[in-house]
Amino acid sequence: MKLTDYIKDFKYKSRWKYLLFRSVFRLLLRIKSFLNKISLSLYSNFKAEKTIEEKGISRVYPDSYFQKLNDSFKIVFCGDLLLLEDQVKRGFKNGKYDFNDVFEYTKSIIESADLSIGVLEGPSDQTSGFSTSNYGDGKALSINFPSAFPEAVKQSGFDLVSLANNHILDKGSHGLLETIDLLNKIGLNFIGAYKDQGDKEANRVKVLELQGIKFAVLAYTYCPEEFSEDELFTDHYYSTSFLVPKSSKYYKKCKDSVKSDFEYANSLNPDFIIVLPHCGTQFEKKPDLFQKDWFDTFDELGADIILGDHSHCVQPSYIKDGKFRLYSPGNFTNSFRKYDGDASGLFEIYIDKKSKRIIAADVIPMWICCKTGGNYAPIPTSVLYKSENHNNLYTYDSEKIDSILNTVTNSVFDKKIPVNKYNCRVFFDEKGYFRTPLANIIIYDEWRKNTFLSGINNADSICFIGDSITDGTRNGGVPWYEPISNVLPNRIFNISYGGTTSKLMIKKHIDEIKNTLADVFVIALGTNDIRYRNKRICAMTKEEFTQNISAVTDAIFVNNPNAGIIIIAPWESIDGDPFTPLKYSDVKSMMNDYSLFLSEFCKKKNYIFINPNPYIMDEIDKMPSNYYLEDHIHPNMYHGIQLYCEAVLRYKG
């Protein structure tokens, strides 16, 4: 009997059993649906709770601070200056080698520094074959550069290169000697390779005196795998300065030698000791134990600036106790793109000339890519984001640039940070990442007559009260009003918290509101009341919401009886909000109801009311949402912030 026939037979011969079965089945479906709703509500409330009272992470430095950096002594450092087989072949043009296009997008940065340092990872022996293999292609890897490459390095503006690396002996002692002679001939200063023991003893510490600042430079490398430690510490010990792990029988000898180097360096009374160690696990974004051990040793012995490299990917960097540490900037140039080998950072360290202290640093994220018919070259991602360049890219390339920017910044700071992709540099100091203020948008004359600017026209101080969009919780700490800071009163207060609601603002921050003295208060609350739908922390009706706003204004008038009040409608979100249990249509309807009710409240109280949402949503509908938004609601720190700010300025009431 077929299954369908069996069901029909069961349905008509045992009707009461069938009805019971159907009733139980439908009941189970209803229970499942109910549990799903409860689960979604609990989940959304849990996520809402997790986001409550967050603050934007970034610090903003005024233009005057960046003038101080411009007046500082600046060191530029890059990672491996490396040519694999295809890169060498791409450099052969019109019967000769030319590698100047490798530095097309970075030469101006390198030349702008007071001291530019790179790592020339390999010999330049013109009597032997050049680089073989592109790494990972099954060929034996041997590195060797045409003389045109060190010449291009020199012409690009580098002042000093380190030859202490695991490939410097790829062409044996003869290749090392040829490289030394070439660099001396073209006038490219170097450290980390020596003709003999006497040369090493005399030049293992490089002294540079620039603009009244004295530097002592040391360079080291881990041992190349092609040689045994016995060979390196006997036949080739003078060639460069080797580092070994703690497990090595040569560890004590190695450490004693490093101590001796530092004793000599310190005896020269330098202002800074710079160490250039070539070590680390390839393609690993975090330092390994070998790096940590030796970097800590250098620090204990008196290193002020440690500029590591070799991992072929970007690793963390920070400033602590007045000292700078970088584990690796990734490659400067390299054709191997797997494992983020094409993500690179160019680092700048700023030293105050008077106090001779490190005051800040930055990283310039770069993508190592290749033009058809050209060579592999690092390009700052900010250059690629410029509209004239970005509009000519394919979607894949645009996504790749986003990935490169995130990879570099996440690796440097060992966490995800939001950055302005249109800004060349990402700055940090001892307290961590900080940013420059956004550029001011153009204020058209007709906007000055509109609701917002008219409302703050005679104010000497202003206070913004709001949630994450006013605080900048999700975009690096950029509030929606930052692009018009030039037309705001001199005194600006911000009482805003990511994830907050009207009810939480009253419960947690009412005293802060009462005690803030300002001429105008701008209130932008309600979005999270609607999205979260958690009666413990949200206004569940438009009437309750308006009562909460009234309580906020009452608190303002306690110490500011003549304050002007500007109220902004709850910011709208797009579909796909993971923090709400509501359907998007219900969210839209509720946003509209809350805004209309709030508008009527403002009319009765004679408060200024602004609803920027129609303009915002209309513009968002014209573009992919990520052009303006970080997620479902938060404006990104460039196009999004400009849009939200412009929408407020355009509103006429």
Q: What are phi and psi of 34, to 5 degrees?
A: -65, -45
Task: Report how far residue 519's alpha carbon sits from residue 464's, in angstroms, rounded to the nearest whole number.
Answer: 11
Task: Report how far residue 385's alpha carbon sits from residue 13's, in angstroms, rounded to the nearest whole number.
Answer: 74
Q: What's the mean per-residue pLDDT of the chain?
A: 91
Band (392; pLDDT cuts 50, 70, 90): confident
DSSP state of 472: T
Cα–Cα distances (Å) from 429 to 287, 289, 355, 357, 598, in that order, read 20, 25, 16, 12, 44
Looking at this protein, which amino acid is placed at residue 373? G
Token digits for 199?
């040369």
Token digits for 524?
């932008």
- Which range of 517-521, 633-637, 649-653 scores highest in mean pLDDT? It is 517-521
Task: Report how far residue 390's alpha carbon sits from residue 227's, in angstroms, rounded to the nearest whole number.
Answer: 47
Mean pLDDT of 152-172: 97
pLDDT for position 24 = 66
Residue among 615, 587, 518, 502 at smallest CA distance from 559: 518
> Which tens digits make up the pLDDT trace of 189-205?
999 999 999 999 999 99
Place of tokens 């409240």: 601
Residues 6+ apart with CB under 8 A from 312: 79, 80, 282, 283, 328, 330, 331, 334, 336, 339, 341
Mean pLDDT of 138-162: 96
E strands within 415-535?
Answer: 426-429, 432-435, 461-466, 491-496, 520-524
pLDDT for position 421 = 83
What proportion of the chain, given as a percentage, has pLDDT over 70? 92
pLDDT at 161 over 50: yes
pLDDT for position 532 = 94
DSSP state of 304: S
Mean pLDDT of 222-246: 91
How many other C-beta atoms are found inside a 10 Å radius of the C-beta of residue 229?
Answer: 14
pLDDT at 312 over 50: yes
Band (73; pLDDT cuts 50, 70, 90): very high
Cβ burial of 258 (10 Å; 0-12, 13-18, 19+) is: buried
pLDDT for position 225 = 82
pLDDT for position 51 = 46
Answer yes or no: are the C-beta atoms of 280 and 247 closer than 8 Å. no
pLDDT at 81 over 60: yes
* More reliable by pLDDT, 590 or 27: 590
pLDDT at 127 over 60: yes
Answer yes or no: are the C-beta atoms of 572 and 617 closer than 8 Å. yes
Answer yes or no: are the C-beta atoms of 553 and 500 closer than 8 Å. no
Task: Flag the least confident range among 75-84, 142-151, 259-268, 383-392.
Answer: 383-392
Place of tokens 């002007």: 564
pLDDT at 40 over 70: no
Mean pLDDT of 525-529: 97
pLDDT at 47 over 60: no
Place of tokens 């393609």: 283
pLDDT for position 44 = 43
Answer yes or no: are the C-beta atoms of 326 and 77 closer than 8 Å. yes
Mean pLDDT of 20-38: 62
Q: Spell out a b/e string for 395-415, using b for 16 or more CB atoms within 10 Å of the CB, else e.
A: eeeeebbeebbbbbbbbbbee
Looking at this protein, which amino acid is placed at residue 181? D
* More reliable by pLDDT, 626 or 602: 602
Token digits for 245?
């792990």
Token digits for 61?
């430095």
Task: Flag the least confident range among 159-163, 245-249, 335-339, 341-345.
Answer: 335-339
Mean pLDDT of 570-576: 95
Cα–Cα distances (Å) from 590 to 113, 586, 587, 595, 602, in that order, read 56, 6, 5, 8, 18
DSSP state of 435: E
pLDDT at 514 over 80: yes
Answer yes or no: are the C-beta atoms of 559 and 502 closer than 8 Å. no
pLDDT at 14 over 90: no
3-state percent breakdown (helix, strand, coil) of the chain, nearest 5: 40, 20, 40
Sign of CA dihedral 598, 602, 607, 609: positive
Residues 6+ apart with CB under 8 A from 535: none
pLDDT for position 444 = 95
Answer yes or no: are the C-beta atoms of 462 and 630 closer than 8 Å. no
What proportion of the chain, given as a percentage, has pLDDT over 90? 78
